Amino acid sequence: MSTPSGALTVGVDIGGTKIAAGAVDAAGRIVARTRRETPARDVGAIAAAVVDAVGELRREHDVAAVGVAAAGFVDASRSVVTFAPNLAWRDEPVRADLERALGLPVVVENDANAAAWGEFAHGTGRSASSAGHEVHDMVLLTIGTGLGGGIVIGDRLLRGASGFAGELGHVRVVPDGHPCGCGNRGCWEQYASGRALVREARAMARTGSPLAAHLLELAGDDPEAIQGPTVTKAALEGDTAAVELLADLGRWIGEGAASVVAALDPALVVVGGGVSEAGDLLLAPARTAFARQLTARGHRPAIPVELASLGNDAGMIGVADLARTV
């Protein structure tokens, strides 16, 4: 079933601390939005907060369907969240519960997949196609605390046999490397993420190196207070150590992206997430490393590596768009 082309759908992006919801039109424009705090440890309270947020939007707008994006594993039917590390959901029938409460069709999707679809349909992917670089295959890398991924192949979101495709951050890149929250060691997100950036910045600061003086100043002389935005701010202010930390992160992103491209052959790689706010300080070294490591470089079409354009709204817009085909 598809919703009418003029109808609004609601996209709900559920994070560990907040629930963002928006009424979205067919062009990917958010016409109204609201938010709630996430009662992350209470299954019933999460559902009630979603129902309340959607209800607020429905009071002012005619809504045809609802999409829910969550950081976790969503089954192939886009119905059950089998595991969400930051929420109480374990084999939770989210779709059935919300459809019963709302009386509307509901689709559930992994948040990185939803963001990838948002960027493909209404963000950087669409802009690239409009500019003449036709895009039917795209990879999104979300560089936040961890590293998420979403893959579009042949104008369709790649979900895999179980619905779990796109977990690019857990591709193993360093044998016996840093331990990862997934239980393995050496996963890509341990080297190409905000967590990795903060780990390296704090390690430098703990040594008392003069190179870390500005970082420590911004963090109140406490190495443990350094966060990703601290490094970005210092780098944008011209701090050499912070610029190098972002360049190291960019190299990990670019080299890993080259491996992803070798496997999937997309027309475009998009980099989003909070760390991407560093802009060219991150993207320039990522592009250099990507070009250096790309298989068959010089004998294949150019593959742009671009910043995402929808920001924190990508997941909301993407899952609202997916809800149009529930």
List, for residues 171-222, the tens digit of each pLDDT value.
Answer: 999 999 999 988 899 999 999 999 999 999 999 999 989 999 999 999 999 9
Inform me whether the pLDDT recorded for 2 exceeds 70: no
- Residue 1 pLDDT: 56
Check: CB of residue 121 under 8 Å from CB of residue 28: yes
Cβ–Cβ < 8 Å for 232, 276:
no
Q: Does the structure show a pLDDT above 60 at 5?
A: no
Average per-residue pLDDT for the chain: 94
218-251 pLDDT tens trace: 999 999 999 999 999 999 999 999 999 999 999 9
Higher pLDDT, 301 or 253: 253
Residue 239 in contact with residue 215, Cβ under 8 Å? Answer: yes
Q: Which structural domains are found in the chain, ordered by start?
A: 8-118+313-325 (3.30.420.40), 134-193+244-308 (3.30.420.40)
Q: How far is CA 153 from CA 85, 156, 230, 273, in A?
A: 27, 5, 36, 21
Q: What is the pLDDT of residue 293?
A: 95
What is the predicted pLDDT for the residue at 326?
A: 76
Taking residue 199's Cβ as centre, other Cβ atoms within 10 Å add up to 15
Query: Which pLDDT belongs to residue 3?
Result: 66
Note the pLDDT tens digit of each residue in 84-137: 888 899 999 999 999 999 999 999 999 999 999 999 999 999 988 777 788 999
pLDDT tens by residue, 45-87: 999 999 999 999 999 999 999 999 998 999 999 999 999 888 8
* pLDDT, tens digit, 9 for 90 and up, residues 6-46: 689 999 999 888 999 999 999 999 999 999 999 989 999 99
